[in-house]
Structure 1
Amino acid sequence: MTLQLGYLTLTLAVCILLIYFGFTTINKSYDEPTRKRKKTILVLSIILWQVYLGIVGSTEFILSYSFPPRFAITMIIPAFIFTGVFVYRNRNKAWLLNLPTKQVFFFQSFRILVESLFVASVGAGILHKEASIEGYNFDMVYALTVPFVGLIAFSRQSSNLKLIRFWNYLGLVVLASVIFVFMTSIYAPELYGADKPLLPLEAITYPYGLVAGCLMPVAVFMHVLSIAQLNRILRN
């Protein structure tokens, strides 16, 4: 129960931060009537997605090792499609420049807590060690570098935005490697010396499935959004 509470609490904190970033950007970008509408859409979208994840993650439909993975089809892919469409459609919008650049980058430090939960999940038998820092998941290492890189990049009078952009790309590469570890632990367990899937099905049920359906996609979304903003700034 304590471990489940940890996933729920972290997800709640991440959603609150998303709302904070959204409200900050909206307040700087729109007039009062538009602000209300945009804020309502933002909050309702986050709430509805959480309700959806709760419903899907509590059904037996996703409890399968069949290919393609049902949890990816219902949780990860829709979030990735949204990220791609949303950022592409808004890449030239003026509001993008009002996004809090520093806070968005430092936000990626939340992955330290995600990986800490992974370590606790290994001890509880929810995850296999290969999916944590004890194995081939180096996301915590990346997350630990974020505060230091941010301090270096933003400490000068002229911020080193190219360094921040590069670190965003690096973060996406690290996330891709984590996804690779999770997928191969299910569909190619022989890579890890096993003859059956290493990821327990319990790991994709609610609330553990919040990693796949919310926490990881949010990290990807914020990376891509930050890159779009930095590209716009560096072009000017």
Structure 2
Amino acid sequence: MMLKLGYIGLTIAVCVLLIHFGFTAIDKTFNEESRKRKKTILISGLVLWQVYIFFVAASGFIQTFSFPPRFALSMIIPSFIFIGMFVYQNRDKSWIMNISPNWLFFFQSFRILVELLFVGSVAAGFLHKEASIEGYNFDMVYAFTILIVGYFVFVKQAAGLRLIRAWNYLGLLVLASIIFVFMSTIYKPELYGATEPMLPIDGLTYPYVLVAGFLMPVAVFIHVLSITQLNRLIKK
């Protein structure tokens, strides 16, 4: 139960941070008449996506390893499409510049908590060790470097924003490697000396799917948003 509460609690915390970022940008960018509507859209969107994830998982639709992967088709791919379209359409909007660059960068440190939950999930039998820090998932290491690099750039001012941009690209590569590990342990388990999918089927139940359905896409979204913002800042 504590493990499940950990996933749900972290999801709620991430939603609160996203709302904070969003409200700050909205308040600095739009007039009073527009603010309420945009804030309502932001909160409604987050709530509806959480409801969607819950009911898709509860329906049992994604609890299968048949190909193509249903959890990817119903959660990951739609979220990636949204991220691409949303950031592209808003790439030149002023609200992006009204979010503090260090907020967007340090935000990625929440992945330390995700990886700690993964360790607990391995111990509880809901995840295989290859997808955690015990195997081929190095996201915890990357998340700790966020704190170090962010300190040198934003606090000590010992490096410039180009390093932050490069670290965002590195973060996307790390996330891509994790997706590869998850998918290959399901559909190419022989790469790891196994003959059957290594992910326990219970790992595709709620709230464990919050990582693939929400927390990982959020990390991708913040990376892409930060890169878009930094590209404009560096050009100045």
- Structure 1 residue aligned with 2:155: 155
Q: What are the within-5 Å matches in structure 2 for residues 14-93 of structure 1?
A: 14-93=14-93
- Structure 1 residue aligned with 2:133: 133
* Count of aligned residue pairs for this structure pair: 236
Q: Is contact 1:118–1:132 with CA below 8 Å preserved after alignment?
A: yes
Cα displacement string for residues 137-195 of structure 1 (whole angstroms, at most 9, x for unaligned residues): 00000001101100101124586110110000000000000000000000000011100
Task: For 1:27, give the aligned amino acid.
Answer: D
Give 5+ residue unaligned stretches, structure 2: none
Q: Is contact 1:25–1:100 with CA below 8 Å preserved after alignment?
A: no
1:226 aligned onto 2:226: yes
Q: What are the within-5 Å matches in structure 2 for residues 191-202 of structure 1?
A: 191-202=191-202
Cα displacement string for residues 22-62 of structure 1 (whole angstroms, at most 9, x for unaligned residues): 00111111111111111010000000000000100111111
% of aligned pairs identical? Answer: 65
TM-score (norm 2): 0.98
CA distance in 2, matches of 1:49, 1:224: 20
Task: For 2:46, give the aligned amino acid.
Answer: I
Q: Is contact 2:61–2:70 with CA below 8 Å preserved after alignment?
A: yes
Task: For 1:213, give the aligned amino acid.
Answer: G
TM-score (norm 1): 0.98
Query: RMSD of aligned C-alpha atoms?
Result: 1.0
Task: For 1:225, give the aligned amino acid.
Answer: L
Runs in 1 of length 4+ with deviation above 4 angstroms? 156-159
CA distance in 1, matches of 2:231, 2:176: 21
- Structure 2 residue aligned with 1:8: 8
- Structure 2 residue aligned with 1:171: 171
Task: For 1:129, give the aligned amino acid.
Answer: K
CA distance in 2, matches of 1:217, 1:66: 22
> SS of 1:58's equivalent?
helix
Q: What are the within-5 Å matches in structure 2 for residues 198-217 of structure 1?
A: 198-217=198-217
Q: Is contact 2:6–2:117 with CA below 8 Å preserved after alignment?
A: yes
Q: Decide whether aligned partners of structure 1 residues 123 and 158 sit closer, same or farther in structure 2, where only a CA change above 3 A counts.
A: closer
- Structure 2 residue aligned with 1:111: 111
Give 5+ residue unaligned stretches, structure 1: none
